[in-house]
Amino acid sequence: MDNQYADLNLELQELIAGMEQRRGKVEAGGGPERQQKQRDGGKLTARQRLDVLLDPGSFLEYGTFVEHGGNRLMQGVEAPGEGVVTGSGTIHGRQVFVFSQDFTVLGGSLGKMHAAKVAKIMDLAAKTGCPIIGLNDSAGARIQEGVDSLSGYGEIFYRNATYSGVVPQISAILGPCAGGAVYSPALTDFILMSRGSSYMFITGPEVIKSVTREEVSFDALGGADVHTRRSGVAHLEADGDEAVLGKIRDLLAFLPQNAREKPPIRPTSDPSDRATSDLLTLVTPDQRRPYDMHRVIGTIVDDGEFFEIQPDWAKNILCGFAHLGGRVVGIVGNNPKYMAGTLNIDASDKAARFIRTCDCYNIPLLTLVDVTGFLPGVAQEHAGIIRHGAKMLYAYAEASVPKITLITRKSYGGAYLAMNSRDMGADVVYAWPTAAVAVMGAEGAANIVYRRDIQKSDNPEATRTEKIREYKETFDNPYVAAAKGYIDDVIPMEDTRRRLISTFQMLQDKEETRPFRKHGNEPL
Ligand code: HXC
């Protein structure tokens, strides 16, 4: 015992020693052997993770001495801390609430009291208006506790849903997350996974083999690559626990504490009126010459820094956060470098979710448009592109944050609307001189509208070329839309940063009210 107590009376010394002994036992988790196994697997322990995530010395633990509820199967079973460490701390000096599951204690499995500890800090986070961060490393429902552990999941899922859009919720997946352990993260705003040491699946390889005879490894079934590239379940991945926890710290810098606040301002030395002349060579009038929208964003935003969300999934659309004049913006942009920037099912899902996340947390939206339309194809139609594309329309129409749309080149057809046109609620629409707004591209349009003229012509190819040129002259520019007020101004490309910063500043106190309803019925 600490000798600072040496002068106290003996009884008090014993009480303090008892407290320290109990605390030591809880802090030891599943014991040195299991903790070593955790480290051998390249993972940090539950408490080490909190040390990396939070500002030094800021962690305050609650529920330290909670024990399992006990039933016949749990008799004699020890579960220090109930397999989860819970409390509050700060990140960049701002308060957050955290839970960190301890895989060394019964595989981090979730029993009734484990869930009660998590629910307690979720409630505190909602009451005090602070983000909730879950560090997940769990084998799912604690088998010995039966229906009680299912009920425990229910308590958490209920809170995930109830506090959705109230305070930001972030989930790190840092080990095997099986069964119920994946659905709480799936109900949160962001999921980050550690590459090589984390998995997410509803049923594991063993069960799959017995039911469907498919043989698959943990990694191939639900590793970070699968969920950040194929399924779209996770938003970010990184190598190892420390890198994932670092990304959570970075992500929080873009988010407010709760839905009543705005995100923090980050002062910058990047001048607001810096000319963005690089855009003049990056985006040429030749519609067939693709460019990378990342480079457009990098040229415009503060210090060229773009924090991309889901960078490896549905690459035909970009979503992410940046600062403009110190203020956070959420950016959605077609990327002509992939699939000519067309919108497909995954891109629609990705963008719709991101738009709604920004709207929840008062993050203004910048939409960069270069899109020929929705991706044509039987597979897309049969898989429900109508239902998925509608999510984007709904999300933009619903979002009441400041919204600026910038048309960089093509904006055609349904995708013109899905990329937040004036009528879908954009507060200000800008276009570059390279922009073209039309129902479809000139080639397709001329072939349909002038089919008879082309067929009747002595020289169909010459007529076709002439009609395409005619159509282009009429519609393939921003001025028809600008003349009708659908575009507020056609701006010099080199003036883009200054215009966007000034316009977001003009919109910063925007308020938009909607008719009463319980909640909308967005397409899912
Ligand atoms: C209680 C469990 C447990 C569980 C593992 N353990 N799973 N205890 N309930 N669900 C214990 C083990 O007995 C072991 O205890 C310790 O945790 C570590 O487990 P290992 O198997 O040794 O670890 P590892 O080899 O790394 O494998 C990890 C694993 C595997 C892949 C997660 O343990 C596994 O498949 N577990 C079962 C997963 C599962 O089916 N969960 C229920 C899902 S149903 P000792 O004492 O030896 O250290 C569900 C329903 C909810 O969640 C649905 C809500 C929608």
With a CB cutoff of 8 Å and minimum separation 6, the contacts of 515 are none
Contact 373, 419 (CB under 8 A): no
Check whether 132 has a pLDDT greater than 60. yes
Q: What is the average pLDDT across 455-480?
A: 90
Which amino acid, 2?
Answer: D
Best mean pLDDT range from 174-183, 464-473, 487-496: 487-496
What is the structure's pLDDT at 1? Answer: 57
Across 423-494, where does the E strand assignment appear?
A: 428-431, 436-438, 489-490
Region of poorest pLDDT, from 6-15, 192-201, 222-231: 6-15
State pLDDT tens for residues 352-366: 999 999 999 999 999
As a whole number of angstroms, the distance between CA 407 and CA 277 comes to 17
Q: What is the average pLDDT across 309-322?
A: 98
Q: pLDDT tier at 395 (50, 70, 90 boundaries)?
A: very high
Which of 232, 326, 414, 425 does the annotation list as catalytic? 414
Distance from the CA of 179 to the center of ligand 1, in angstroms?
A: 10
Q: pLDDT tier at 167 (50, 70, 90 boundaries)?
A: very high
What is the structure's pLDDT at 285? Answer: 86
Burial class (CB in 10 A: 0-12, 13-18, 19+), 195: middle
As a whole number of angstroms, the distance between CA 140 and CA 293 comes to 40
Alpha helices (H) along 163-234: 183-186, 205-212, 218-222, 224-225
Check whether 2 has a pLDDT greater than 80. no
Structure-token pair, residue 98: 């955290």
Distance from the CA of 443 to the center of ligand 1, in angstroms?
A: 59
What is the Cα 337 distance to its own chain's centre?
22
Second-level CATH architecture of 31-252: Alpha-Beta Complex (3.90)
**ipTM of this complex prediction, to 2 decimal places:** 0.97
Q: Is 153 in the pocket of ligand 1 (CB under 6 A)?
A: yes
Structure-token pair, residue 301: 């935003």
Q: What is the average pLDDT across 283-311?
A: 95
Distance from the CA of 31 to the center of ligand 1, in angstroms?
A: 17
Check whether 264 has a pLDDT greater than 70. yes
As a whole number of angstroms, the distance between CA 38 and CA 45 comes to 7
Whether 31-252 shares its CATH topology with 279-440+477-507 is answered yes
Burial class (CB in 10 A: 0-12, 13-18, 19+), 92: exposed
Active-site residue flag, 415:
yes
Check whether 282 has a pLDDT greater than 80. yes
Check whether 190 has a pLDDT greater than 90. yes
Q: pLDDT tier at 74 (50, 70, 90 boundaries)?
A: confident
Q: In this prediction, what percent of the chain has a pLDDT beyond 70?
A: 100
User: What homologous superfamily is domain 279-440+477-507 in, according to CATH?
Assistant: 2-enoyl-CoA Hydratase; Chain A, domain 1 (3.90.226.10)
What is the structure's pLDDT at 471? Answer: 87
The residue nearest atom 47 of ligand 1, judged by CA position, is 106
Which is the closest atom of ligand 1 to the Cα of 149?
51
Q: Model's pTM, two decimal places?
A: 0.95
As a whole number of angstroms, the distance between CA 279 and CA 300 comes to 9
Q: What is the average pLDDT across 89-116?
A: 97
Burial class (CB in 10 A: 0-12, 13-18, 19+), 125: buried
Mean pLDDT of the chain, nearest integer: 95
The residue nearest atom 49 of ligand 1, judged by CA position, is 179
Q: Is 199 in the pocket of ligand 1 (CB under 6 A)?
A: no
As a whole number of angstroms, the distance between CA 16 and CA 328 comes to 48
Q: Is 205 in the pocket of ligand 1 (CB under 6 A)?
A: no
More confident residue, 74 or 485: 485
Instruction: Give, for 99, the enclosing helix (H) or strand (E).
Output: strand 94-101
State pLDDT tens for residues 5-61: 888 899 999 999 999 999 999 999 999 999 999 999 999 999 999 999 999 999 999
Which is the closest atom of ligand 1 to the Cα of 183?
55
Q: Is 177 in the pocket of ligand 1 (CB under 6 A)?
A: no
What is the Cα 202 distance to its own chain's centre?
21
- Rg of the Cα trace of the chain? 27
What is the structure's pLDDT at 288? Answer: 80
Active-site residue flag, 414:
yes
What is the structure's pLDDT at 404? Answer: 98
Could you state, in order of their start, the residue ranges of all structural domains in the chain?
Answer: 31-252, 279-440+477-507, 442-475
As a whole number of angstroms, the distance between CA 395 and CA 522 comes to 8
Check whether 250 has a pLDDT greater than 80. yes
